[in-house]
Amino acid sequence: MQFMLLFSRQGKLRLQKWYVPLSDKERKKISRDLVQTILARKPKMCSFLEWRDLKIVYKRYASLYFCCAVEDQDNELITLEIIHRYVELLDKYFGSVCELDIIFNFEKAYFILDEFLLGGEAQETSKKNVLKAIEQADLLQEVCGLCPR
Amino acid sequence: MPAPIRLRELIRTIRTARTQAEEREMIQKECAAIRSSFREEDNTYRCRNVAKLLYMHMLGYPAHFGQLECLKLIASQKFTDKRIGYLGAMLLLDERQDVHLLMTNCIKNDLNHSTQYVQGLALCTLGCMGSSEMCRDLAGEVEKLLKTSNSYLRKKAALCAVHVIRKVPELMEMFLPATKNLLSEKNHGVLHTSVVLLTEMCERSPDMLLHFRKLVPQLVRILKNLIMSGYSPEHDVSGISDPFLQVRILRLLRILGRSDDDSSEAMNDILAQVATNTETSKNVGNAILYETVLTIMDIKSESGLRVLAINILGRFLLNNDKNIRYVALTSLLKTVQTDHNAVQRHRSTIVDCLKDLDVSIKRRAMELSFALVNGNNIRGMMKELLYFLDSCDPEFKADCASGVFLAAEKYAPSKRWHIDTIMRVLTTAGSYVRDDSVPNLIQLITNSVEMHAYTVQRLYKALLDDISQQPLVQVSSWCIGEYGDLLVSGQCEEEEPIQDEVLDVLEGLLVSNLSTPVTRGYSLTAIMKLSTRFSSVNRIKKVVSIYGSSIDVELQQRAVEYNALFKKYDHMRFNLDVLYDLVSLLFQANDLLDLLGGNDVMPVIQTTLPTKPASAGGELLDLLGDLSLSGRTTVNGLKIEFTFERANPNPNIAVITIHATNTTEADMTEFVFQAAVPKVSHDLSVTFV
């Protein structure tokens, strides 16, 4: 995976995870253009498109679009499953997640993503294990904030 | 100094802004506060401030002044600080700026931290955005962690190693020992990331590929266990056990089995098993089937397995889910060359996809349809494709038209069918056909001698309906000029037009706003040609002389030349045949220059009065003795000059000399010379000099 973007129906970015080195300016341009392209698509169209030289996989969950840019050899259908898994993780963590949760707790959304994917690939395929790790890390943050050295 | 406001408080406040200007004001105010807080080196609230900065950055505001603060957070001992610090680094820093290198030491320390969650943060950051320098410095640490028994860290180290290898391929070797028993792990996270690591290594190095081929039996075993094992709640997705791992293993098997018979054979059974047993009611099952099909098609599988794979794709085409249809078409497009017959069986389903609403699906269906056209199915397929051409979006029309022409050329069952098909394309998508279609079609029509009457009649009728599509108009004009005698002579089945009607149409083209200059050229030439076929010569003379003062230089030039020919005719009193031959020759030259698309076509006629009467045998050559005809044009740097002259010593031979010169500095390749025999009763032989 090269990057993942979460954005609202109005085109506001809620999360952006980049796995390829690009400058801030380049990222902004890509985000803006891609978001416009996807928002212009009709609901009946398929979840895949070729955009510039990238393969894009996207899916809408309620008011949020989840959009990934994957490599040529990547399986588009399993990417949909990856997106779905991430949504399930957010759902379990926040308890019936909605866009507001992601807006007000964006850093948590990142932490969860970083326990699920690393360098653009899935690091853990068990839902339980991802959530457990987040739970423990949160605990570490809450309880002492200090790390035993 | 009051405590900086909390993150959620800030978010709430900013969201109350009703205008962009209001929001900007709030942001600027907060940024100023954050900046002064940073200046005071406040450790307590640094984390909170950076978090707020990251939020504002996501809204699109600049946040670069927070970069160093991220580094300070990473260096802090507090886990909270590290968490936000690393997040900030991943969002605000990129490897192009040197400041990112300051992270290296912190990451190194954190990779050796006693708390695995801190180590995890470091591995994640390195694996996400580590630059080549950082990777070089820290590869050793990653390699160490790849050998740990802690599966939480091992899985992260594997993906981090993937990133290191991508950034610094030379370091791949050092990870080889650590891969030794990766696949013996029970932990799915480690298994999955290990397979990703092995895949990366095999894709990059043929040596690695050879080395890891021996893992095929083990991979097959793991895959088998996943399929045969009972319900495992931890990894279950809609009844399938760890589809992510299954897909990655299938992909690695593909790479290992490619161009290797033994490996391919070893995985044959498991592939067949997956292909037949996987539940297809949900997307997840289809994802696995899709990967299986890709693997089967890429390795050296036996034909039975290949047919099975193509049939899966055929079933995919019938799936209600358009995503599934999309991947099916994509895959079929890849295999249509190698497994043509098998794909043919699904032709009707593919053709149905032409009617799909989704643009990407339509495009793939179109490409696939053209790939499937052959001598047996040409009639049926063309019907569907022409229907598609009629109704498709403009973005498809050019490609579709080209495809139709190519297919028609290759497989036309009859000349009449061929011409009808071309007509259909010209009338439905005439404005989208490529520029070279016009000369190609004229060539085709010329060669279909028995169809001339039919063709000119149909083209004439098409012209009556619509003069807006230039390629159609150009081809029609040319045909009418060339075969106008057939058009009015009653050879056609339907009621034939009279000469004046035909001239009306051609003159209409000359004055119409819809006609381009090129089209006008075609129609003027056509009108002129008809002066040797029709009897209304006076009318034609009038038209031609009008255009002798046309604003369009090209048109003017032609008209002036043609006028000259008329004058010649008056004085010379030749029989019509000879003039006809001469004019034909000139027009062929003109047309050829037209077809070459030259912008500065300059046919030149110098005429002098003849001093001797026409003789029996070489009237044409007598003409040539008095007229010298030449033409000159330059297209894309290729300069072409024509001259017509009488041969020496044999006066019965007319010599047409063509000089082709490359006026550019680059080499020209693929120079093709084509000569069409004009409609004169002379032989044409070609000698290259």
Give the C-alpha separation, B426 to B421, whole Å.
Answer: 9
Binning pLDDT at 50, 70 and 90, where does residue A40 land? very high
For the four alpha carbons of B567, B570, B573 and B578, in that order, the dihedral sign comes to positive
Please, are residues B171 and B139 in contact by the beta-carbon 8 Å criterion? yes
| pLDDT higher than threshold 90 for residue B122 | yes
Do B299 and B267 contact (CB within 8 A), yes or no?
yes
Q: Looking at per-residue confidence, does B98 or B75 come out higher? A: B75
Average pLDDT of the segment spanning B4-21:
94
Return the minimum-mean-pLDDT range out of B82-91, B111-120, B426-435, B628-637.
B628-637
Distance separating the N- and C-terminal Cα atoms of chain B: 95
Q: What's the pLDDT score for residue B605?
A: 39
| DSSP designation for A3 | E
Of B309-318, B448-457, B597-606, the poorest mean pLDDT is in: B597-606
Q: What is the pLDDT of residue B602?
A: 42
Is pLDDT larger for residue B261 or for residue B532? B261
Cα–Cα distance list, A95 to A102, A107, A115, B142, B495 (Å): 12, 17, 18, 35, 80
Q: How far is A108 from chain B (nearest CA, A)?
A: 10
- Per-residue pLDDT, B572: 46
Rounded Cα distance between B329 and B295, Å, is 16
If one compares B486 and B605, the residue with the highest pLDDT of the two is B486
In the block, residue with structure tokens 């959009």: A67
Q: Which residues contact B551 (CB under 8 A, 6 or more apart)?
A: none
What confidence category does residue B537 fall into, taking pLDDT thresholds of 50, 70 and 90? confident
DSSP type of residue A108? H
pTM of the model: 0.78
Average pLDDT over residues A80-92: 97
Of the ranges B469-473, B592-596, B679-683, which is most confident?
A: B469-473
> What residue type is B473 in one-letter code?
V
Does residue B6 surpass a pLDDT of 60? yes
Q: Say which residues have a Cβ less than 8 Å from residue A88's Cβ, sequence separation at least 6.
A: A127
Q: Between A43 and B677, where is the model more confident?
A: A43
Q: What is the pLDDT of residues B128-160, one digit of tens each?
A: 999 999 999 999 999 999 999 999 999 999 999
Q: What's the pLDDT at B514?
A: 87
Tell me the pLDDT band of B569, cut-offs 50, 70 and 90: low
pLDDT at B443: 84
pLDDT value at B639 more than 80: no
pLDDT over 60 (residue B510): yes
Query: Which residues of B fall within a CB distance of 8 Å from A149?
Result: 77, 114
Do B631 and B642 touch, CB atoms closer than 8 A?
Answer: yes
Give the whole-angstrom CA distance, residue B341 versus residue B510: 51
Question: Would you say residue B200 has pLDDT above 60?
Answer: yes
Mean per-residue pLDDT over chain B, rounded: 84
pLDDT beyond 70 at B686: no
Amino acid identity at B639: K
pLDDT, average across residues B168-187: 94
Closest chain A CA to residue B8? A104
* pLDDT band of A66, cuts 50, 70, 90: very high
> Residue written as tokens 């149905």?
B352
The pLDDT score that the predictor gives to residue B617 is 36
DSSP state of A40: T
Region B633-652 average pLDDT: 64
Q: Which residues pair with B236 in a beta bridge?
A: B241
Mean pLDDT of B12-22: 94
Residues 6+ apart with CB under 8 A from B675: B684, B686
Provide ipTM, 2 decimals.
Answer: 0.96
- Give the per-residue pLDDT at B621: 42
Give the CA distances from residue B406 to residues B332, B422, B425, in Å, rounded to whole numbers and listed in that order.
21, 11, 12
Confidence label for B633 from pLDDT (cuts 50, 70 and 90): low
Partner residue facing A49 (CB), from B11, B80, B360: B360
Selecting from A47, A81, A147 the residue whose C-beta is nearest the C-beta of B115 gives: A147
Q: What is the mean pLDDT of residues B394-409?
A: 90
pLDDT digits (tens, 9 = 90+) for B284-301: 999 999 999 999 999 999
Higher pLDDT, residue B559 or B86: B86
Per-residue confidence (pLDDT) for residue B492, from 0 to 100: 56
* pLDDT at residue B2, as a whole number: 75
In the stretch 197-236 of chain B, residues with CB closer than 8 A to chain A read 234-235
Please give the pLDDT value at position B567: 75
Q: In this structure, what is the dihedral angle of CA atoms B650, B652, B653, B655, given to the nearest 10 degrees?
A: 90
Given an 8 Å threshold on Cβ–Cβ distance, is B96 in contact with A23?
yes
The DSSP string of B29-84 is HHHHHHHHHHHTT-STTHHHHHHHHHHHHHTT---GGGHHHHHHHHHSSBHHHHHH
Q: Show the 3-state SS of B168-219.
A: CHHHHHHHCHHHCCHHHCCCHHHHHHHHHHHHHHHHHCHHHHHHHHHHHHHH
Between positions 110 and 169 of B, the ones with CB within 8 A of A are 113-115, 117-118, 120, 123-124, 127-129, 131, 152, 155-156, 159-160, 162-163
Q: What percent of chain B has pLDDT over 90?
A: 51
Cβ neighbour number for residue A149 with a 10 Å cutoff: 7
Helices B378-391 & B359-372 angle (0-180, nearest 10): 150
* B59-73, B392-406, B510-524, B602-616: the lowest-pLDDT one: B602-616
Nearest CA in chain A to B132: A21
- Residue in chain B closest to A121 (alpha carbons) equals B159
CB contact (8 A) between residue A119 and residue B162: yes
In tens, the pLDDT along A123-137 reads 999 999 999 999 999
* Amino acid B342: pLDDT: 87
Higher pLDDT, A99 or B230: A99
Provide the pLDDT confidence category of residue B652 given band limits of 50, 70 and 90. Answer: low
Q: B593: pLDDT confidence band, cut at 50, 70 and 90?
A: low
CB contact under 8 A, B115 and A106: no
Question: For position B487, what pLDDT does the model report?
Answer: 84
Beta bridge partners of B269: none
CB–CB contact A126 B189 (8 Å)? yes
Cis omega before residue B233 (within 30°)?
Answer: no
Contact between chains at B124 and A148 (C-beta distance less than 8 A): no
Which chain B residues contact residue A81 at CB under 8 A? 237, 243-244, 283-284, 287
pLDDT of B486 higher than 50: yes
For residue B594, name the pLDDT band (cuts at 50, 70, 90): low
